């Protein structure tokens, strides 16, 4: 049985800003709550007191994202619940997200402008991408190629900055009003250097070496930034087929398929597309194409 799509791990909506939207949170309530919980925060351009809350645009297990305005400009404000972060032992992960995204300044990466906190929440002020994420959107073949080229450029920069993303997928990639592709959501990102064994990412996008390393199998002695190249291949396949290549309701069986099965393409697929995906999805990460080889691949040449 082929599963035609997958459910995201969190709820997303992608509205455009509307001057007449009813705010879901009273501005007075926000101000009162913030003053009650205020611990330490300088009254800067991005004080929570200066935001106009407009609409909920994303929600996760311990966070939500609001479309807000400040001095006439739109931003995405991510609110992280400190109690839930502590309960799930995610303090270091949140700090890594802030540290890594703060240092990245690139056209194809969602910019983190600043962050602050009160007694209950951590606030991340990021760039707002009007067209939302790529999740369950359909694009022309030429547009998909353009998206992949921009993603490769962004990942090249991320790796050059000493970071691997580890969670490249449609939900974490956004489009601006001008169709500029932006990679965001650095919650799984980590410094390059030593090989990792942490089980991290989205199941359908995990590479074989992530699965094997977490099972204490030392075939590769852990994994490195080549997991992001694997994710590019899965992403391209999903954008073209509205499903990922290795699916199973049973997670153990799905992981086994990722590690053992070869990808199956339609009979009439473009040979250049097939070659590109295959170069990303070698089970052995040492055989995968590097980012520059992918960027120069004939499939992406218009």
Annotated binding-site residues for ATP read: 78, 171-172, 185
Let me know if 167 is a catalytic residue: yes
CA 269 to chain centre: 28
Looking up tokens 């006439």 gives: 72
Those residues whose C-beta lies under 8 Å from the C-beta of residue 32, and which sit 6 or more positions away, are none
Other CB atoms within 10 A of residue 101 CB? 22
Catalytic residue among 81, 118, 167, 256: 167
Residues that are catalytic:
167
């Amino acid at each position: 049985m082929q599963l035609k799509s997958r459910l995201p791990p969190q709820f997303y909506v992608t509205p455009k800003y509307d001057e007449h939207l009813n705010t879901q949170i009273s501005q007075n309530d926000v101000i009162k709550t913030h003053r009650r919980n205020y611990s330490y925060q300088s009254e800067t351009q991005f004080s929570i007191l200066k935001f106009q809350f407009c609409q909920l645009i994303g929600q996760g297990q311990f966070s939500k994202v609001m479309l807000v305005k400040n001095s006439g400009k739109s931003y995405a404000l991510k609110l992280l619940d400190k109690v839930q972060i502590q309960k799930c032992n995610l303090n270091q992960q949140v700090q890594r997200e802030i540290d890594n995204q703060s240092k990245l300044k690139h056209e194809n990466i969602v910019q983190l402008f600043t962050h602050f906190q009160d007694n209950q929440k951590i606030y991340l002020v990021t760039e707002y991408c009007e067209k939302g994420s790529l999740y369950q959107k359909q694009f022309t073949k030429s547009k998909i190629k353009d998206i992949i080229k921009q993603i490769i450029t962004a990942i090249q920069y991320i790796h050059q900055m000493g970071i691997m993303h580890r969670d490249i997928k449609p939900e974490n990639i956004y489009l601006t009003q001008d169709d500029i592709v932006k990679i965001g959501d650095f919650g799984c990102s980590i410094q390059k250097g030593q090989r990792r064994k942490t089980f991290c990412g989205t199941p359908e996008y995990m590479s074989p070496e992530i699965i094997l390393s977490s099972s204490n199998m030392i075939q590769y002695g852990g994994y490195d930034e080549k997991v992001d190249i694997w994710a590019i291949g899965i992403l391209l396949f999903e954008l073209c087929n509205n499903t990922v290549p290795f699916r199973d309701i049973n997670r153990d069986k799905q992981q086994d398929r990722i590690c053992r099965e070869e990808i199956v393409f339609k009979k009439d697929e473009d040979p250049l597309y097939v070659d590109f995906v295959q170069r990303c999805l070698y089970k052995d990460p040492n055989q995968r194409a590097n980012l520059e080889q992918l960027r120069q691949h004939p499939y992406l040449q218009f």
